[in-house]
Amino acid sequence: MEEYQQRVIEEKIQLDEKLLRLHNFLSSDKLKDLDLDDQNLLVEQEHAMKIYSIILWNRINRFGVK
């Protein structure tokens, strides 16, 4: 496996960990403590992170490494 491929895999792992923490926050009562604009921005951020995670997954699949 190439070094850059390992970096992409590590990046996806880290992103997915952050995405899980954000999802858990958005599902908690703590979200209500924020104003509506900040809540909406966090929802948009979660969406963007999901798309980014899918892109990384597709790149990893193209590596052809099992």
Single-letter amino acid, residue 47: H
- Of 20, 8, 13, the C-alpha closest to 60 is 8
- Check residues 1 and 35 and name the one with the higher pLDDT: 35
Residue 49 scores a pLDDT above 80: yes
Confidence of residue 54 (pLDDT cuts 50, 70, 90): very high
Residue 32 scores a pLDDT above 80: yes
User: Token match 């104003």: residue?
Assistant: 35
Integer Cα distance of 50 and 44 in angstroms = 10
Q: What is the pLDDT of residues 10-26, one digit of tens each?
A: 999 999 999 999 999 99
Question: What value, to the nearest 5°, has the Cα angle with vertex 58 and ends 54 and 63?
Answer: 145
Query: Which pLDDT belongs to residue 64?
Result: 87
Contacts of 47 (CB under 8 A, 6+ apart): none
